[in-house]
Structure 1
Amino acid sequence: MNDTASGPDHAAPEDPRAELAADRTLFAAERTYTAWVRTGLTALASGVGAGKLLSGSLPLWLIVGIRAPLVLFSLFCFWAAVWREFHQGAPPPKPDTPRLSRVALIAVNVGLALVAAAALIAIAVGAGAG
């Protein structure tokens, strides 16, 4: 059999390039997950911090109008991180590198989403009290 006929895109499973490509794919998926979480944490911190920063200089309705969308966006980011982890398209070849536990990823994101939901409730209660 002629090995050149298969071309470089069709590496054999025992080819180390296939294993390295699978590892790169896994690391890219983990970077995407952490980017979603990092963006969500930034939005959550911005939404919470905007209350202290803007209080006294803007009307309460405008402060709530700034804070609530930021916290809602953080909830979306935490959901998207988990959704993206489970919907990556065609499964890549089996990587040599161990994957992060999906249970741990879900637990972390559920915890972050609960914190964001509590912040959103605090914003709503604060708006009602003000």
Structure 2
Amino acid sequence: MSANGDSRPEVLRDSAEKLAQTSESVSASSQELTSSTEKLKDSADRRTELAADRTVLAAERTYAAWIRTGLASLASGIGAKKLLDGVVHEWLIIGTGSLLVLFSAMCFVVAVWRELFPGVTSPDPSVRRLPPVLLIISNGFLTLVAIAALFGIWFGRTGG
């Protein structure tokens, strides 16, 4: 017996019970922490995946902007020949129209370039990218149209 009247086995048993309770508490806390970490990891993975999807969609909007700019420049270059006839010298009409049409061809080429080679590699998005063959064919056609318009500006008639 100890000085306060407790027997040694009872003290040991109480200590063992407290130790078992503490161990169970630590184990439960560890399981909660593991579960929380897994949820956080899943959440971070999902945010990364969504960011990759947003990147693909933003690249498509940028591609569309290049095409719009190229089409507007092509129309302006073709229209410059008719619009500026009788207003400015012939060489200025041909120069202005040529620059606008050449700029449109550059826009069509850059649109494909920026879409196919974005520069930054991101995780695999769940959104499908535009097929490269489709981009090359459609923008190749637009570039040929721009070149044909350029020849029209150089060798076509001015005025009505």
Tell me if both proteins adopt one fold, taking TM over 0.5 as the criterion. Answer: yes
1:4 deviates by 9.5
1:126 deviates by 2.6
The structure with more radius of gyration: 2
Tell me what 2:132 maps to: 102
SS of structure 1 residue aligned to 2:94: helix
- Indicate if the aligned counterparts of 1:12 and 1:18 stay in contact, CA closer than 8 A: no
- Among 6, 20, 30, the alignment partner of 2:50 is 20
1:90 deviates by 2.9
Runs of 4 or more consecutive aligned structure 1 residues displaced over 4 Å after TM superposition: 1-5, 11-14
1:86 deviates by 2.0
Gapped regions of structure 1 (runs ≥ 5): none
Distance 2:152 2:57 in 1: 37
After superposition, the CA RMSD in angstroms is: 2.6
Does structure 1 residue 91 correspond to structure 2 residue 97?
no
Q: After superposing the two structures, state which structure 1 stretch, 90-99 or 74-83, moved more.
A: 90-99
Deviations 1:55-103 (A, max 9, x none): 1222211111110000010111111111111221132111111111111
Gapped regions of structure 2 (runs ≥ 5): 1-32
Label 1:61 to 1:93 Cα distance change in 2 as closer, same or farther (>3 A).
same
Distance 2:140 2:44 in 1: 39
Tell me what 2:20 maps to: none
Tell me what 1:33 maps to: 63
Label 1:3 to 1:47 Cα distance change in 2 as closer, same or farther (>3 A).
farther
- Among 64, 67, 71, the alignment partner of 2:97 is 67
1:3 deviates by 9.7
> What's the TM-score once normalised by structure 1's chain length?
0.83
Determine which structure has the larger helix proportion and give its number.
2
1:119 deviates by 0.3
**Count of aligned positions:** 124
Higher RCO (CA < 8 A, seq sep 6+):
1
